[in-house]
Structure formats: structure tokens, C-alpha cells
Structure 1
Amino acid sequence: MSNSVQSGSAAATRDELFDALANARRRTVLRLVRDRTPHGIGKEDLAFRLAAVTDDKRLAAVTDDDHQRALVALHHRLVPRLTDAGLLEETDDGLLRTTDHWVFDEPAFETVTSDRETTDADELDAVLEALADDRRRTVLAVLSDQYHLITTETLARDVAAREAETNERDVSRERVDEVLASLVHVHLPVLHDATLVGYDDDADRVSYEGHPVVRAEWIRPADSAPATDAETAAGDAETGRTDVRTLEGRDEVIATGQSLCERADDELFLLFTTTGLLEEGCFRRIEDAVDRGVDVTLGSRDPRVRDLVRERVPEVELWEPRVDWLNLPPEGESVGRLVFADRDAVMIGTLGRPAPGDGEYAETALVGDGPDNGLVVIMRQMLGSRLDELDARETDRRSQFPL
């Protein structure tokens, strides 16, 4: 991507780009001009060709009226939008040609402007129009990093943090509410209508759906590095994600762990080594899980963790592990937190040494999803005895009720 797009008003430039492309006739004009670049094409000639494509006629069958209507459209509506977006330029002798805009180097651009009907024109208009807004692109960037459905509030908090270029803990409640309102009333309906996201306003859940023509680079901040071919190839064919995903940094670990808590329908199994790992957002999601009937079990060898959870959420079943695989060693990394949702999705967070100054641990995590995922299978085996106890207790509880 060129430096000119990455600097200054990069977001506004992208808004103009996608807005200009969100019209089938403008895309046709762009293709016709590009076919004649670098030499260029005159507007009279372009109008004949545009009329032929628009009316599905041979060039020889285009009438003077057809030509005149196309010429007027080019002059007043089509060419100005494309030149304002930096896609077309006019030479000194009045010819039109394409510029060196970065989008012409995108492999997916051929699909966007193709005369082959691989994608419905109205559908493509809706997709590109949805991309013509920086906040909606941020929404897609957030959702594309998720394995599963997340709540609109979680989405709003992440979007607000990314827009402010800060971490989620530093975003005010007022700001989150402002972003949330815009998502619910404006942006999510637009993205849902364009089939880019799945949005169930009754269940308050959002997921990334994507579209074949949308590239990951299009929805990332303009100054971020594009995904490498190796990173893209490492993902599976449908989602582009690896079997076991690695997270870097405390904020990303917290956000993913909280979204897994939101995902749980029947059972949520948690482990924490210290009270410093229990964010307020964690407590809110544990409380929400209890409220919707999820069986929540939380383990820790630290009595302060158990006392804190007992005070905040007395409905949670507390457990003191008999093994020390979660203990913090004096040196090196160890497991610090674990979130296990419905026994088919897991996040294991590891702690490095405390950072100088604030004393916070450097955190990384591994995430696995699906009952057959290797990390999930290992976790079920490691926690086997405790899970067996929970199953036996549930069986005994059910036996007390008549069928």
C-alpha cells in the first residue's frame, strides 16, 4: 500500500475510495478507462463504450441518444467521483486514464471491476458502501479476530479502544455507550444488510461473515502492516485462522477470555492464579453467565482469589486445585489464567515476568476452538478428574427429580 494512502487523512481517503466504487456504472467506467491506460481514452469514445455496456448493445448499435445520455452521466456524475477518489486523472489533451492508486495492485480489484457476473452488482454495491465508513471497517477488523459470536457491548468497547488507540480499561463508560448506540442503530444494520456480519439484535450477538472480494488489508488501519502470505496460508480455507491461535498482550488476552465467557451456554470453567488477573469486566461476564443459567466453576490455590469471588459472585462454585501446575514459579513463564467454555473452546494465558514500573505481567495466550481441537482435547484430559466430579454431581442432582 502506498505511503500517500497511509498518511494524513488515510481513513477519509478510504471512505472516498469505497464510496466511489459502490456503484456498478462507476466500476464499469473504471474498467473501460483502465483497458485504455496508459494511452488514455477520450470522453466521446468512452461514452459510446459505456452506452454499449449499459444497454447491452454492440458499439455499432449505440444511437446518438444513447451516446448523449452516457456523455452527460460521465460529465456530471461518474468521472468527477472517480477523479475525486484519486482513481482517474485527465491529461492535458483531455484524455482519461487511471492513476497509480494502490487499489489497482490489489488482486481482488479485478473481481470488483470485472465484466464477468461473478458477484451480483447490487450485492457488490452494498458491500462496498458498507466499507465506505471508518467505524464500520473497524467493526469488521475487530470481528475478524474473533472465533465466535460476541456481544455488542464487547464489540463497542473494542471499537472505542481502537479508535482512541488505547487499551479497553482506559475507555470511559460514556464513550462505550456512545459507540454502542451508533453500532446498534446505524452500523450493524448496514453491515448485516451487506451480509458482512451476522447480527441478532434479540440475542445481542454479532459475528463476522465476510465476503469473497473483501481483503483483510481493506479493513485494517491504513498504517498497519498487511497480513503476510504465510500468515494467510496458515489459516483454514474458510476463516483464515490457525488451529491454535496465539494472542500477544494483556488487553487482547483479557478481551478474548471475556468473549469466551460470553459464549458459554451450559458450563464455564475458570482458573486464576492471582487477584490481579480478575478484571472488573471478568466479574461482569461471570455474573452474566450465572444469570443466564450457566454452571460456573472457578479454581485457584490463592485464598484471596476464592474470597474475592465468593464475595462478588456467591453462586460460583469454588475449587482449590490439588496440583500446582498453575502456581507462579520465581522465574520463567507459567499458566496464569484459563477459560474453558462448554468444554469445546479454551484459552490458556501464560505470565512472564512483571513489567518494571506498573508490575503487570507480560501475558500471552493460546486459544483453541472445537471439541476435536488439539488444545481443547488436552485440556479435557488435564482437568479430567475435576470434570468427572462435576459430571457425577450433575448426574446425582438430576436423579433427584422425577422424569
Structure 2
Amino acid sequence: MKNRLSDRLQNISYSQTIAMSAKVRELKNKGYDIINLSLGEPDFLPPNFILNDAKKAIDEGFHYYTPVSGYLELRKVICDKFYRDNNLKYTPSQIVVSTGAKQAIMNVLLSLLNKNDEVIIPSPYWVSYLQMVKICESNPVVVPTNMKNNFKIYPEQLEKAITDKTKLFIFSTPCNPTGSIYSYKELRNLAEIFKKFPKIMIISDEIYEHISYSSEKHSSIAIFPDIYNQVITLNGLSKAFSMTGWRIGYIGAPEWIAKSCDKIQGQMTSCTNSIAQRAAITALKANPNKIEYMIKEFKKRRNIVLDMMKEIKGFQFNKPNGSFYIFPKISYFFGKKLYKKIIKNSDDFSDFLLEKTKVATVSGSAFGNNECLRISYASSEDKIIEAFTRIKKVLI
């Protein structure tokens, strides 16, 4: 049957984060006590003021198709949000609301990319960027970064990677999987490179925008006027509002791109869930300080993870300032025998932790760095402490 599948499908891989989650569910169903530090899903409930307005939307009859790009009221609220939080000016015609940030990215890629176009992706990168580019039959150009520079791309690296085939650059800030945040100055330096190449578009994935522990305010690369028309600013409600299953993502983009995304989405899913859209209006109207309690808890959990990792020889790490991930280097264990198993790479190490400690993580290979491991601290404090107690026990 395999030869009946498209070349496009055979050229991509399953999401390793989703695969690990499936493995965790299977083990839990068999009765194992698994602590899942693999999934980027907050353990909080969405705030009550959002839930109440979703219920209200049901009672008020918002059950029907909406415009493909989303309710006009929601798109206006997104424009207000972009101006309030990011000092970015968009109009409703520049906004497209999609069924999650994944669809929003895919809409953009399908709008822009042709076969053999090149897309520059700094690694470590979010697991789906690479595979999405491959779906479009384009070529990902991966630019490695390192812990010394907090896993951020240098302007010199960026310029060196650009060729006459480069069509797009995609990155996240705060970053999944590293938690790194690009400062205003660092974004300005990258913008200086991009303005030399006005045909290159930029996807700035800012879905972790509010999950920041930095003293510096979040900056969007679209804030620089000389490259504003090159930038697609991506965001959503899954992370900061703990609304992963509601599937609301959105973009602010040049109008010609927004129209293209509307065209593609109209042939794929049409509009996003109407009740989720009404809830999104409420969420995005709210002052971000309404979710500050979550951010404070995430910061506390991050510090617990950092303190506990200090006690485990072989974990090398930096101090991330955003998202809810830590990306430690664990290559110290490569070539070592742990409980009769030779650890060859991060895949082996992640499998070892799951087998011996019943703690689920994700191998760094999924994110373009085989020396590291992604650990999510979106779980409760108690689970995090128990997870690292187990890990410490088998590694020390």
C-alpha cells in the first residue's frame, strides 16, 4: 500500500511530540504511572471570564458559519491587541483567524512557497516547521545555533545562509523548544539583514509572547518600518490562555498574504469554530495582567527544574527567559552504559528516561539538535519534583 501514497507524504515524518504523547497515553492505559514532561500544554483551566463568555455565546446562538477569516469583531479586537501589546498597526483585512497556529503557518507556506524554494530555519526549531516546509516541496535550510548564544541566530549566520532561492525565514520568540527570547536590539540587527533582501518574507511565531520572565518588554520584528511589509506576525490562544483544544491561531500580515491565506483556508477548513472565536474576543480584549498568575507559576516551576538539574551531573543548561521549556544538553551520557543500555544519542536518552523513570520528555533530534532534550514544565509543581527525583535516582 505504501507505493500508493504521495511522494509528499513519504517525505515527511510524524510529529515526535505527538508520537510521545500517544506513547504516554498507551502506557498510562496499561497502568503505568507516567509523568509527562513532553507536551507543550499548560495544566491550568482557561480563565473563568473566557469560559463564561463561551457559554454565553452558545446561549446567544453563535452556531453557524462565520467569514473564512473570522468574525469582523474578532479581527478588529486582534488589531487592537497588536497595537496595545506590540505597537503594530494592522487593519481587519490584514488578519486571518485559523484553526490553531499550525493551520495559520501552513496557510502562509502554501501561499508563498514553490517547489525547491528555500526556507531558512534556525535550530533548535519547533518540530513542525521543517515538516511543513517539506509538505510544500520546498527545501529547509537549517542554521544551527548554540547554548553559548542562548540558541539565537547571529545576523552573520543569517546573511550567509541567504541565496537567490531563499523565499522565507521562520523563527519563534519566545522560542519553542529553548525558551530563548530575542531582544529588541537582536531583532533590530536581524532586520538590518532582511532589509537588504526585500523579497524574503519572515514568519515571526510569537505564540509564547506573554510567557516571559524577562525584564525587557516583548518585541516583534514587524515593529521596524523598513521590514514591516516582509513580516507575518503569528500568534494564538493555546499557550498563554491555556486554550489548546479551542484551536485559535491568527496572523497579522501584508494584505496580499492575508487574502491568499483566506483563499486557501476557504478550500480547506473554511472558518474556525464560531464559539471559540467568541471566546477569543473576550480573551484578547482582556488586559494581559489577568493571566499573570499563570506566568508567575511557570517561572516558579522553571526555577525548580533549574535547581534540580544542578544536582544531576551531565545536564548542561542555560537559563531560559520564556515559554515553558528547558533544553538541556545531555551529550555527556553518549557512549555511556546506563542499566545495560548504551546511550548513543538523545533519542536513546529520552527512551531510557521513559523506560527506567516513567518520565516522558522529547528528544532534541525532533527540534534539530541531537545533543539536547526538551523538558516541558507545563505540568504541576508536584509532578515536576517527582519527575526529577526519579531522574536523579537513576543517573546518580
**Higher helix fraction (1 or 2):** 1
Q: What TM-score do the two structures reach when normalised by structure 2? A: 0.22
Higher relative contact order (CA closer than 8 Å, sequence separation 6+): 2
Greater Rg over alpha carbons, structure: 1
